[in-house]
Structure 1
Amino acid sequence: MAAMVGLVLLVGCASGPRTDPRDPLEPYNRGVTRFNEQVDAMVLKPVATAYKEVTPAPVRTGVSNFFANLTDVWSFVNNVLQFRLEGAASSFMRVNVNTFLGLGGVLDVASEIGIDRYRQDFGLTLGRWGVETGPYVVLPLLGPSTVRDTFALPVDMVGNPVRYVDPTSARNSLYVLRAVDARANLLRAGSVLDSAALDKYSFTRDVFLQVRSQAGSAPYDKDKDDSERDAKDGVLPEEPPPADAKTR
């Protein structure tokens, strides 16, 4: 909430005539980005690396599937709020199939049988009904966002099923596991951008805004999601394998 109040105070400030019109808060955003990178280097990335090294791949996949299934619950609600009937129906079926046939969401049975994922959140719901994204903003610890998405965060928090898990110790453990799993997924990306050759901040901002502007109106595209996550980590996608190489 303190960050949101700060945004209200900062949103009218521009950094100069050369400022990207989507990013009038660039000096502030760059400062927060540096803070986030320091926290990541000292805490998040080492923990995620250790998690990936000691946890078998099938277990990590199951963890990711479990949290993705919880995300589908909130996507269903937002698809309904947006009157996206196809997305709502798909989200409803995904949650039921994966919960009951996929061992609580550990197995992604719905994707295997061709049920598309329509990922939504309250920020996209506001956009559906005409609320502009507003300036780009980087949130402490949470990373890239926009003013609209930042003000939607409290609603998204209420819609997070983990919020209602009891006891508190179990709920907090799930929050930590989700954060570590999300960070571990970023480790699949390629080499870190060379800051001398490319402005990592601008790259992150441009990719995030592009992916976000295309989100919500079509079935979930894993390649686009990977691009957004790679941007948050400041990395370029890995080079594609040769045409005759075995791919997933």
Structure 2
Amino acid sequence: MSCLAKVCFITSAALMSFVAQAADEDPWEGANRVIYRFNDTLDTYALKPLAQGYQFITPQFLEDGIHNFFRNVGDVGNLANDVLQGKAHAAGVDTARLLLNTTLGVVGFFDVGTRMGLQRNDEDFGLTLGHWGVPTGPYVMLPFLGPSTVRDGIAKYPDTYASPYRYVNDIPVRNSAFALDIVDTRASLLSSEKLITGDKYTFIRNAYLQSREFKVKNGKVQDDF
């Protein structure tokens, strides 16, 4: 077999393996694409324009402060999942971040913890389940919520217990804070859209699955090639 033939054979084998893996990870691709188109349409005509308007009228220091505030709120969930995963060091870091940012950082408006070298962990109950060996299950595109898996989708409900919205009784305040959180999150992703290439659905799916695997394995992911 010539060198060129060997290269073609290896390339074809790798491509077939990739296609088979994608089919295993996303067996409901047809339905997922329908939901993705719904989400993308909603984002294009509603959420993205809101995020762009928010970013345009909000001074940078205020936008940063609001973003820091919601990240500080999210550190409660990070800490809870650090404990559930038995990560003592990470739990200590997130505890220190919460205390510093909530007090010296004026309820999280300033990220004092990061400035002091305490890097934020990013944990949720889906990652906790993955840490203890629960498989991801098939890829799922959730209406409104976006990319997920069966494991991560189920884990979203327990995550709500670490969210403050569950404990806010004033409905207008709760809804306003929740809406601002969503718009702030979408605004923070505007610059990332430039990285998307090729089929947008496939790009988002692969990026999500790879990111989750990376986090579950704490960055210790082997390259298949």
Is 1:26 equivalent to 2:29 in the alignment? yes
- Superposed, 1:117-156 pairs within 5 Å as 117-156=120-159
SS in structure 2 opposite 1:103? coil
Is 1:72 equivalent to 2:87 in the alignment? no
Q: Which of 105, 109, 116 matches 2:119?
A: 116
SS in structure 1 opposite 2:47? helix
Give 1:141's aligned amino acid.
Answer: F
Query: Quick one: structure 1 residues 99 and 29, their matched pair in 2 at CA, closer, same or farther if it must change by over 3 Å?
Result: same
Give 1:186's aligned amino acid.
Answer: L
- Superposed, 1:159-178 pairs within 5 Å as 159-178=162-181
CA offsets per residue over residues 168-219 of structure 1, 9 Å max, x none? 211111100000001111112354756xxx2111111111111111115659
- Superposed, 1:90-239 pairs within 5 Å as 90-189=93-192, 191=194, 193=196, 198-215=198-215, 218=218
- Superposed, 1:44-59 pairs within 5 Å as 44-59=47-62
- Residues 130 and 216, structure 2, Cα contact 8 Å, conserved in 1: no
Query: Quick one: structure 1 residues 17 and 116, their matched pair in 2 at CA, closer, same or farther if it must change by over 3 Å?
Result: closer
SS in structure 2 opposite 1:188? helix
Quick one: distance in 2 between partners of 1:40 and 1:204? 14
SS in structure 2 opposite 1:37? helix
* Alignment TM-score, normalising by the size of structure 2: 0.84
CA offsets per residue over residues 128-159 of structure 1, 9 Å max, x none? 11110111111001100110000111111122
Name the structure 2 match of 1:6.
none
- Residues 120 and 216, structure 1, Cα contact 8 Å, conserved in 2: no
Quick one: distance in 2 between partners of 1:216 and 1:97? 27
Report the identity percentage: 43
Question: Which structure has more helix as a fraction of its residues?
Answer: 2
Quick one: distance in 1 between partners of 2:128 and 2:87? 10
Of structures 1 and 2, the one with the larger relative CO (CA 8 A, separation 6+) is 2
SS in structure 1 opposite 2:141? strand
Give 2:211's aligned amino acid.
Answer: V
- Residues 51 and 183, structure 2, Cα contact 8 Å, conserved in 1: yes
Give 1:32's aligned amino acid.
Answer: I
SS in structure 1 opposite 2:114? helix
What number of residue pairs does the alignment pair up?
Answer: 201
CA offsets per residue over residues 90-118 of structure 1, 9 Å max, x none? 11110000000000000000000001212
Quick one: distance in 2 between partners of 1:18 and 1:215? 20
* Alignment TM-score, normalising by the size of structure 1: 0.77
SS in structure 2 opposite 1:166? coil
- Residues 62 and 107, structure 1, Cα contact 8 Å, conserved in 2: yes
> Which is worse superposed, 160-169 or 104-113?
160-169
Which of the two has higher C-alpha Rg? Answer: 2
Quick one: distance in 2 between partners of 1:209 and 1:17? 15
Give 1:102's aligned amino acid.
Answer: G
